[in-house]
Amino acid sequence: MTTQELEQLLAQQPIALLHRLARGRVQRHFRAGKRRLIEILLRHSAENRAGFESDLMILIGERPPLPIPPAPQAPAARKPKPSTPQHRAIHRPAEQDSHEPAITLSSWLDGLGVPPPKPFVTDAWQEDAIAKLREGDVVVSVPTGSGKTYVAVEAARRAIAENRTVIYTSPLKALSNTKYTEFSKIFGADQVGILTGDRRDNGQAPLLIMTTEILRNLLYDAGGGEIDIRLDTLGLVILDESQYIADPERGVVWEETIIFCPGQARLLLLSASIGNPHDIAEWLTSIRPTPCHLVRHSTRTVPLRAGYLHPNGKLMPLFRTVGIPHGHPSHLHPEAKRLFTQYEDETLPTGRRR
Amino acid sequence: MPPSIHPVDLILALRDKHLTPAIVFLTSRRACDEAMQAFDHSQVLLPPIRQQAIAAVLEKVIVQYPSIAEHPLIPTVQRIGVAAHHAGHLPSWKIAVEELMRHGCLDAVFATTTLAAGVDFPARTVIITQSSIRKSRDFTDLTIGEVQQIAGRAGRRGKDLVGFAIVTPSPYIDLNVLTKGFTGHPEAINSQFLISYPMVLNLLKAHPLDQIQPILAKSFAQFQLNQRAEVLERKLDGLREQMEPFGPRVCTDWITEWQTFDQVRRQKSHRAPARKHEPPEITARFHFLTPGRVVGIGRSRGVVLRQYRSKGQKSPMITALRQGGGITESPASTVTEVSDRVLDCVDAPVYPWCTPESVEELLRHLEELPGRLPELPILIPKEDEPIPDAIVQTLGDFACPTCPSRSACQRDYPHASKLRQEQQRHLKSIQALRTSLWHRFQGKIDVLQEFGYLTPTAHLTDDGEWARLIRIDHSLLITELIRAEAFNGADPAMLAAVMSSIAHDDDRPGAFPRVSSGLGSLLGQVRKLALSLSPHEDPPLLRADIAAVTERWIGDPSLTWIGLCKSTTMAEGDIYRLLARTLEFLSQLHTLKATHPGLADTASRAIANLRRGVLEELP
């Protein structure tokens, strides 16, 4: 095969194949566009022309037939048949996993829609969390939007039924207000109160909503001998968004609250997914009278898919799989990868490329 | 190609693929506002039915929060079905947007990531345009947890079968951060146990000093420190095992013994310099073989041009200009006599080491010199200098040289001492991990004692009793201001203004009204005090322009919210937050009514003036 023929042959191949060919031969090949990549490959092939050609043939042989019939000097006809099987045996197993064909946009979008209305069914972890709260404190670490609020509401309902006071804290005043409205709808306005720094609405209600700072102050006052709230009837403290314990400025407030929380009250910590919820649970077990149970759940109720939208309006999957390939950040959809590289090349000022 | 997708195109693309409603997270408030402006003249209208639905929901919200009735974004929201939601907006507006989202009326909300945690509504799709967020004046990459928190808003339970998190690039986006965020496991969180002055005071109010340490030990901070200490302890156990073969020998602590012996031995050997075979008279003479010195070399005479030590042996060498004009390199030992005559010689850095003119000169002088020259008297130190007594004595103290285990000690010493050093390092860090919280606490106690809030026995003084009720940032500054009676005679507006300048921690620039002269001088005093307290507490920004905003609002009860907003370039939401925080600070001052009735009264009047209009809408 002459160099010119080879160049022609390479030009007929899809870019994905060229990238596969460039793997291990050319550094940072994924940065190059097709023409540049062919140029680099040709230059490279000078070193070991025979090996290069046979690898190319194998790759072409593996591909499903092209939709467009190949040119007269079709590569398939020239395939050096005897060498093929051995090479396949060598190359295939190592590369197979990441080279399943990437999904198409339509299959990525498939399944979009509104589920048929069905009666609300609790998840097993929600049941578990509520049940375990009878035995001791509970730490819940689940992805955003999995239904933590349901656990809070149900736990509060049970505590109120036992004539216990429930305190619900959130890190932000705005969230407190949202929850106040939400809980008032669920429990009735007379059952829910809210405490802020300067105002107290329905402070005698069995379910009190406040920011964590306010609760910390109440606990301090109780510790100083000035009982301000019915801490003796306190049955349940719900700390929402408790991953705030790692907040550089305010995190200490969560720790203080937990340390000084009366022993007879149960603690329910609701948190987004964090890396070490077992540490929190272990810590609670070590300082609280009752053992702490960890409820952890990592799959989302509504599955998530990731996409890539190019500034020109073209939408495509971000990963080569439909769902998110956990643990494989590099399994990008080839098209998304190519367009993003192109985008970076166009927008990054020269000399700033990584 | 545009650096990022145009908002109108974005909405069209999302509608086309049925990916609405969506939350579009943008880098800044400005980006959100500009995105909204982009729809001003666009014709991507909603069908009339949906427009009516939006109007109906808005109407309901307006009944509860009249302040948003005139909101400039309402027309766009109704026409297009998109809204902006960020910290620059009033909470009531944010509630309205959340309400609209909950009813499924909107196609998209443009929001900032800074408040991702505060955005309490899900959508079918989340659009991510950035990979870093602004945190305390710096841009930092999103953590895995943050990416998942943002992406997690996609997919509404019961309303969607799947949720979509879509990345669309904007300049400086790093796709790796996002793909790692999507596919990774969230980071472990770490305790951030800040010990504050009010915490110390409140703990000491309720518990005697000797009970504090057990309380600190209950913190998550200590729990995590203990975890780290345990890791070190395990390492320590491993080291102990490795140290087993290096237990007691002839002497129990042979490592230390050998270490000192070895050191002394080395010192002794160090005393013998590299040129130890150099006869003392040569060393003594060498100092005098300076350029221009007339010397006798062998039977002839010469002038020294330079002196140096040879590279390999370090033996003393001279370059000399000989009678007859030759320039030779010769060892200093060949110098037979050193005369007391020094000729003038101009140095040069290269061969022949002096200027050509001075070579001529020197040669002439050399010829003119008399046959005999007086020799330079050079004192030669005694040949064998004894090793200082101290070292001889210590060497004599060591049993090592004759000890039966000497060879074993010598062999094992390097390894054993390395192990032991590591052991000691771990022990030190474990000690530090176990006690650091307590030390930090004690540091705060010391400061509070210095300022007189605590007695030397760490009980609360009278000042401490009320100071512990101030549980906000910059509490030391505030309590010191109260003790200095800085607020005596200040009217409610001035008090609130100072409090807001202490509370405000944002350095966003802007144009603001001027301060009154009384407030200006008070702020000057506050600034001076804050500066003097800076070793113990970070001073607040104390912006006069911020104080002026608050002063206006409280000082002039007829001022409307719109009027206040017009007097500054600060965003509505920021003004609201500023006043809300000031309110919080003032209500802390109000709790001092038992000890400082005047101040508490001024504070409560300020609170009453502050809570009007928009600030009264929310609980």
Both B25 and B173 in one domain: the answer is yes
Distance to chain A for B226, nearest Cα, Å: 11
- Out of A256, A287, A346, the one facing B199 most closely (by C-beta) is A256
In a domain, B97, yes or no: yes
Q: What residue in B sits closest to A306 (Cα-Cα)?
A: B165
Q: Which neighbouring-strand residues pair with B85?
A: B111
Q: How far is B408 from chain A (nearest CA, A)?
A: 47
Identify whether B260 is part of a domain: no
Q: Choose the final residue of a domain: B129, B159, B183.
A: B183
Query: b/e for A44-54, b at 16 or more Cβ within 10 A?
Result: bbeeeeeebbb
Task: Tokens for A162, please give them.
Answer: 């036992």
B77 and B174 part of one domain:
yes
Q: Kindly state the helix (H) or strand (E) to which residue B132 belongs, with its residue range.
A: strand B132-135
State the nearest Cα–Cα gap between B533 and chain A, in angstroms.
Answer: 20
The alpha carbon of residue B74 is apart from the nearest alpha carbon of chain A, in Å, by 21
What CATH number is associated with residue B352?
A: 2.30.30
Q: Which among B459, B489, B521 is the end of a domain? A: B459
Q: Which of A31, A125, A144 to mutate to test the interface with B (most CBs of B within 10 A)?
A: A144
Provide the CB-side half-sphere exposure for A16 (13 A, CA).
Answer: 15
CATH code, domain carrying B519: 1.10.3380.30
Find the residue in A nearest to B180 (Cα).
A329
Sheet containing A234-239: order of strands? A200-201, A192-195, A207-211, A165-170, A234-239, A266-271, A137-141, A292-296
Same domain, residue pair B539 and B609? yes
Query: What is the reported pLDDT for B225?
Result: 94
**Torsion from C-alpha of B264, B270, B272, B276, nearest 10 degrees:** 160
B210 and B83 within one domain: no
Query: Which helix or strand (DSSP H or E) is residue B319 part of?
Result: strand B316-322
CB B190 within 8 A of CB B221: no
Residues of A in contact with B471 (CB under 8 A): 213, 216-217, 220
**Whether B452 and B574 share a structural domain:** no
d(CA A333, CA A316): 8
B201 falls within a domain: yes
Among the listed residues B151, B153, B155, B154, the one whose alpha carbon sits nearest the alpha carbon of residue B180: B151
Show Cβ contacts of residue A352 under 8 Å, excluding neighbours closer than 6 positions. Answer: none
Going by C-alpha positions, the residue among B556, B527, B567 that lies closest to residue B543 is B527
What is residue A123's predicted lDDT score, i.e. its pLDDT?
A: 87
- B168 contacts in chain A (CB < 8 Å): 308-311
Which residues neighbour B18 within 8 Å (Cβ) at sequence distance 6 or greater?
A112, A113
CB A240 within 8 A of CB A178: no
**B61 in a domain, yes or no?**
yes
Predicted pLDDT of residue A70: 43
| Minimal CA separation from A123 to chain B, in Å | 12
The dihedral sign for the CA sequence A246, A249, A250, A253: positive
Report the gap between the CA of B52 and the closest CA in chain A (Å). Answer: 23
Contact at 8 Å (CB) between B114 and B123?
Answer: no
pLDDT at residue A354 is higher than 80: no
Mean predicted confidence (pLDDT) in A182-210: 88
Q: Residue B596: its pLDDT value, please?
A: 94
DSSP 8-state code for residue B333: G
Q: Are B330 and B224 contained in the same domain?
A: no
Mutation target among A220, A250, A321, A353 for the B interface, most CBs of B within 10 A? A220
Does one domain contain both B162 and B294? no
How far apart, in whole angstroms, are the C-alpha atoms of residue B327 and residue B424? Answer: 62
CA distance B26 to B129: 6
Query: What pLDDT, on a 0 to 100 scale, did the predictor assign at position B117?
Result: 58
Q: Which residues of A touch B151 (CB under 8 A)?
A: 304, 306
Question: What pLDDT, on a 0 to 100 scale, did the predictor assign at position B324?
Answer: 81
Write out the E strands in chain A: 137-141, 165-170, 192-195, 200-201, 207-211, 234-239, 266-271, 292-296, 304-309, 315-317
Mean pLDDT, range A115-122, rounded to an integer: 84
Mean pLDDT of chain A: 82
Res A84 pLDDT > 50? no
The pairing of beta strand A304-309 with beta strand B125-128: unpaired
* CATH, residue B129: 3.40.50.300
The helix (run of H) or strand (run of E) holding residue B231 is: helix B220-243
Cβ–Cβ gap A304/B176 under 8 Å: no
d(CA B455, CA B469): 18
What is the CB neighbour count within 10 angstroms for residue A239? Answer: 25
d(CA A314, CA B142): 25
Classify B327 as helix, strand or coil. strand
- Residue A185 · residue A163 · CB < 8 Å: no
Ranges of residues in chain B whose predicted pLDDT is under 70? 1-2, 114-120, 136-137, 267-277, 381-397, 511, 618-619
Of A175, A213, A311, the CB nearest to B168: A311
Determine contact, residues A208/A165, Cβ cutoff 8 Å: yes
**CA dist A313 → A46, B10, B102, B103, B110 (Å):** 41, 7, 27, 28, 18
**Partner residue opposite A327 with nearest CB, options B2, B159, B183:** B183
Is B25 found in the same domain as B54?
Answer: yes
Domain count, chain B: 4
Q: Per the domain annotation, does B278 fall within a domain?
A: no
pLDDT attached to residue B391? 58
A341 and A353 Cβ atoms separated by less than 8 Å: no
How many inter-chain contacts (A to B, CB under 8 Å) are there? 257
What is the ipTM for the molecules in this complex? Answer: 0.76
Cβ within 8 Å, pair B618-A279? no
| Partner-chain residue, chosen from B13, B120, B206, that has the shortest CB–CB distance to A309 | B13
- Determine the Cα–Cα distance for residues A68 and B549; give it in Å rounded to an integer: 71
Q: How many whole angstroms separate alpha carbon B297 and alpha carbon B453?
A: 85
Dihedral class, residue B472 (left if φ above 0, else alpha if ψ from -120 to 50, else beta): beta
Pairing of strands A165-170, A207-211: parallel
Domain-located, residue B385: no
Going by C-alpha positions, the residue among B589, B603, B595, B604 that lies closest to residue B463 is B595
Contacts of A255 in chain B (CB under 8 A): 191, 193, 219-221
Give domain status of residue B560, yes or no.
Answer: yes
With cut-offs at 50, 70 and 90, classify the pLDDT of residue A36. Answer: confident
Chain B residues with CB inside 8 Å of A224's CB? 202, 205-206, 468
Q: Both B240 and B216 in a single domain? A: yes
First to last CA, chain A: 37
B195 neighbourhood in chain A, CB within 8 Å: 252
Of the candidates B95, B124, B183, the beta carbon closest to that of A325 is on B183
Say how many C-beta atoms besides its own lie within 10 A of residue B371's C-beta. Answer: 5
Q: How many angstroms separate the Cα of A71 from the Cα of each of A185, B264, B397?
A: 71, 86, 95
B179: which chain A residues are within 8 Å (Cβ-Cβ)? 318-319, 329-330, 332
Q: Are B158 and B112 in a shared domain?
A: yes
Same domain, B149 and B208: no
Could you tell me the end-to-end alpha-carbon distance of chain B, in angstroms, rounded to an integer?
48
Give the best residue of B9, B147, B164, B471 to mutate against chain A (max A CB count within 10 A): B164
The pLDDT of residue B382: 65
Q: By C-alpha distance, which of B336, B344, B262 is closest to B305? A: B344
Domain that residue B567 falls in:
469-616
Q: Is B193 within 8 Å of B441 (Cβ atoms)? A: no
Q: Looking at B312, B342, B368, which one is the last position of a domain?
A: B368
Q: Which of A247, A324, A340 minimises the CB distance to B183?
A: A324
Q: Which residue of B has its CA nearest to A110?
A: B162
B619:A180 CB<8 A: yes
Residues B495 and B604 both lie in one domain: yes
Distance CA(B216)–CA(B212), nearest Å, equals 6
Q: Is residue B271 part of a domain?
A: no
Tell me: the pLDDT tens digits for A267-325? 999 998 889 999 999 999 999 999 999 999 888 888 999 999 998 888 999 999 988 99
* Closest chain B C-alpha to A77 CA, distance in angstroms: 41
What tokens appear for B132 in the block? 């870093």
Contacts of B616 in chain A (CB under 8 A): none
Q: Which member of A111, A243, A287 has the closest CB to residue B189?
A: A243
